[in-house]
Structure formats: structure tokens, C-alpha cells
Amino acid sequence: MKRIQLDITKAAQFLSEGAVKAYEPKVKAAQEALENGTCPGNDFLGWLHLPSSITPQFLDEVQAVANTLREKCEVIVVAGIGGSYLGARAIIEALGNSFAWLVGDKANPTIVFAGNNIGEDYLFELSEYLKDKRFGVINISKSGTTTETALAFRLLKKQCEEQRGKSEAKDVIVAITDANRGAARAAADKEGYKTFVIPDNVGGRFSVLTPVGLLPIACAGFDIKALVNGAADMEKATAPNVPFEENIAAQYAAVRNALYTEQGKKIEIMVNYQPKLHFIAEWWKQLYGESEGKEHKGIFPAACDFTTDLHSMGQWIQEGERSIFETVISVEQPAKKLLFPSDDENLDGLNFLAGKRVDEVNKMAELGTLLAHVDGGVPNIRVVVPELNEYYIGQLIYFFEIGCGISGNVLGVNPFNQPGVEAYKKNMFALLDKPGYEAESKAIKERLK
Ligand code: PA5
């Protein structure tokens, strides 16, 4: 099996000589602090050795529940937000058919997502779509109290019970939540749903290799054993004893911190050339944004889909403020083969491409853009993924997780908390007159007058 590769040469050329290597001691110290549990947020390190500690028996248990849902449901709604949804969606979309919901796949249930917004139209249209469907629900919330998810779940539970009857609904609703706390746990225990526990020491955005990600991914028909194997192999490949020159996570953490502090590169754009990877970038944005953006520090994680966004954001990237760098996920081999046809009339003038794979054109766009952006002053980091399958996606996930843990520690923040996320919730509850928020309610309504 191959391994994901990292190429930082076109980023290092923007830095003073030896600048990346100069980070080696800091990166090493950060990795040791993670390993020894001496870093800030050390009660949230359960993800660190998660891949290598998942047992085949546990994966069989997850698979068995997935099989039941697959058998009983034509649609499975995954309700969750942030870390309780992005990982599953990212992997399902990266591995699945781009037109999954249109192709009438009889072998796999359709997976849809809810509980990640409060759009009334979204929820109304979802409920309309589900009306004639045998659907089930995976309700995912670590705290068990997140408004977006709880709101969607209440609606979905009611509809599922109305359509299937309470007793049958019970068999197609699964809760993934805390072992003891929260409304999701209370409801699951009372109704007798099958449940999985999100370990206390694994934070939401690091939880994709717990049932939070594994169950929806298995429901979608993907191989969770291969996914975990890939992650476990990357865990070994990025272990603290692996020399800096061979440790791609250590190098990634070093180069992005060097670009940030030495060159003032405050924005990292995660770029893909495969539309299927859009949600991998969304997952990455949350992982790095919520982990590093604190104490008025941190690289802003952005994302672009190329070549699509070269026609919208390309100008800014080429010639806008030079505060950005790019990290490109480059997929070596597409799963499918499509040759560009010859045309007798050649009206579009594209016969020079006849007989080539579409991916060859994509690759030349990628290389051409790389050079253009580097010439325009945009450092480039390249993450090369051999192909989009469960094993390599597993590697990619762990690579970004460990890279984030190291990088946040080098930056000097606690990468495992998210105190800033509470501010909007407090205001929203006060505005909605939630019991317990009476004091804030009056003051906040006054401010909006
Ligand atoms: O990474 C995190 O901790 C957050 O993004 C959470 O996953 C998100 O807020 C959802 O929280 P919960 O799972 O408690 O509903």
C-alpha cells in the first residue's frame, strides 16, 4: 500500500533558509506533550491513539447496527452539526457517486443530513421528501443539547413514529451521544434506542473515527475497516519517534506555523481539484478553525474547489493581498476512466485533447495553477493522495488530525476547546426567552432596539 505524500518545497522557498527545520524542536516538544498528556486540553486526547485501539469486534458491532438500518431504511437521516456531522459527510461524499441521490442506487440507502442548520425551508422540504420513504435517523450529539440537532431530531422522531409506528421507529433510530448526560441520552434511554457512546476524551471535531463517523459511513456502504486501517497506518507513520524529515504531520505543522509567523500568511486555502472533496475541506476548516482560532491568534482556514473557483476566486488568489498560502489535495488516480473523444468537425478546437483522459487536463490545470500562484507570491503545500478509497481517506483524516494537534500546540493555544462557540448560543437563548436566561433577555433585546 502506498502512503499519502507531502510536498512543502514550494512553500519553503518563501521562507528563509532552514526556517522549516528550525521548527523541529518546537514540533517535537508539541508532539511529546501530546504523547505524554502534558499539553493544554490533555483531557481531550482520546483521538491520538484511537485508530490503533479500535478493535475488529467494535467495528463488527458498528457494522451490525449499520446493516440493520440498511435493511430497514431506504433513506437514513444523519442529524448532527459541526464535529457531529462534517466528518461523516466529508467521507461519504468523497467516496460516493457525485449524483448519489439521483442514480436510484438500490444497493445502498440514501444518506441525507439534518440538524446542521435551522433553515425552515430546509426542514420543511426534508420532511416533504421523507413523506413516502421508509426512513431512519442517526441522532448525533455529544452534549445532547445542541439546539440545531435537537430541533431537527424532535421533528424527525415525530415523523418517523407517525409513518412507521412507535415500535418500528424505535428500531430505526440510533443515538450517538454521551454515556450519561444530555437530552439525547435521556430520550434514547427512555425510548430504548440503540446507542453508541462518544468517549469523553474525544472532542467533536476529532470524533470521525468513533461511531459519530463510522456508523453513517458504514450505513452508506463503505468499508470502515479499511478506513480505520488507513488511519492506523498514518498513526504509525507520524508517531513521535519518526524522524522529522519523514514525518509529514510534523512537517505540515512546521511549515504552516513558519509561514504564519515569519511571512504573515494568515489565511490557508484548502484546495481540491475533485468536487467530491468539497466536504473534506469543510471538515478540515472546522478542525483547524475551531482548534487554532483563539486568543486572537490562528491561521484562518478557507477552502476553494478548483478549477471551479479559479473562475471566481482565481483573481484574488493571483493578485490580491499576499496574506495567503494554499494547501492542495491532489488525487493521483481517479476511480473512473473517461477519454476525451475526437470530433471530425473540431468546431470547439479541442481535438488536440482527443484520446487523453479528462484527468490529464485536470492535472495540467493543477500544475499550471500551482506555478502561476507560486509566481504570484502564494506558497504552496501539496498533499498527494494515491486514490480516493477508504484506506487513503483514513490516512488523510489522521494526517490532518495529528497535524492539527501538533500545530495548535506549537501556536501556543489549547487546540481542544472551543470557548468562543458559546457566545452566540447565549444570545440566541436569551432572545428566545429560554428559561434561565431571563436576566440576559431584557438587556439583549434592549441592545437590538
Ligand atoms: O468540535 C466540536 O466540539 C463542535 O463542533 C461540536 O461537534 C458541535 O458543536 C456539536 O456539538 P454536539 O455534538 O454536542 O451536538
Render pLDDT for 24-36 as a digit per residue (tens, 0 to 9): 999 999 999 999 9
Task: Look up the domain containing 206 and give its range.
Answer: 49-227
Whether 355 and 240 share a structural domain: yes
Contact 348, 294 (CB under 8 A): no
Is 318 a residue whose pLDDT tops 90? Answer: yes
Measured from the Cα of 198, ligand 1's closest atom is 13
Residues in the chain, total: 449
Whether 71 and 114 share a structural domain: yes
Q: What's the number of domains the chain is made of?
A: 2
Residue 357 Cα to ligand 1 midpoint, Å, equals 41
Residue 420, in any domain of the structure: no
139 lines ligand 1 (CB under 6 A): no
Name the helix (H) or strand (E) containing 151: helix 147-164
Residue 350, in any domain of the structure: yes
Whether 236 and 340 share a structural domain: yes
Q: Looking at 175, 203, 227, which one is the last position of a domain?
A: 227
Name the helix (H) or strand (E) containing 363: helix 358-375
Across 78-113, b (16+ Cβ under 10 Å) vs e yields: bbbbbbbbbbbbbbbbbbbeeeeeeeeeeebbbbbb
Q: Is 398 helix (H, G, I), strand (E, B) or coil?
A: helix
Residue 428 burial (CB count, 10 A) = 14
Write out pLDDT tens, residues 152-166: 999 999 999 999 999
146 lines ligand 1 (CB under 6 A): yes
Whether 352 and 286 share a structural domain: yes
User: To the nearest 10°, the Cα dihedral for 235, 236, 241, 244?
Assistant: -70
Residue 282, in any domain of the structure: yes
CATH number of the domain at 198, please: 3.40.50.10490
Residue 203 Cα to ligand 1 midpoint, Å, equals 8
Write out pLDDT tens, residues 336-364: 999 999 999 999 999 999 999 999 999 99
Residue 82 Cα to ligand 1 midpoint, Å, equals 5
Whether 122 and 75 share a structural domain: yes
Mutate to test the pocket of ligand 1, among 118, 143, 201, 422 (most ligand atoms within 8 A of CB): 143
Q: List, in sequence order, the alpha helices (H) in 176-334.
A: 183-191, 211-219, 224-237, 248-263, 278-292, 314-319
Q: Is 329 helix (H, G, I), strand (E, B) or coil?
A: strand
Residue 145 Cα to ligand 1 midpoint, Å, equals 10
Q: Looking at 227, 253, 272, which one is the last position of a domain?
A: 227
Whether 182 and 310 share a structural domain: no
Measured from the Cα of 206, ligand 1's closest atom is 1
213 lines ligand 1 (CB under 6 A): no
Write out pLDDT tens, residues 74-116: 999 999 999 999 999 999 999 999 999 888 888 999 999 999 9
Catalytic residue list contains 425? yes
Catalytic residue list contains 290? yes
Whether 62 and 126 share a structural domain: yes
Whether 212 and 241 share a structural domain: no
Q: What is the pTM of this model?
A: 0.96
Whether 249 and 356 share a structural domain: yes
* Spatial separation of the C-alpha atoms in residues 444 and 294, rounded to whole Å: 25
- Burial degree of 407 (CB within 10 A; 0-12, 13-18, 19+): buried
Residue 143, in any domain of the structure: yes
Set 131, 158, 425, 445: catalytic member = 425
* Spatial separation of the C-alpha atoms in residues 80 and 276, rounded to whole Å: 21
* Spatial separation of the C-alpha atoms in residues 373 and 156, rounded to whole Å: 46
* pLDDT score of 422: 84
Whether 16 and 71 share a structural domain: no
Is 320 a residue whose pLDDT tops 90? Answer: yes
* pLDDT score of 293: 97
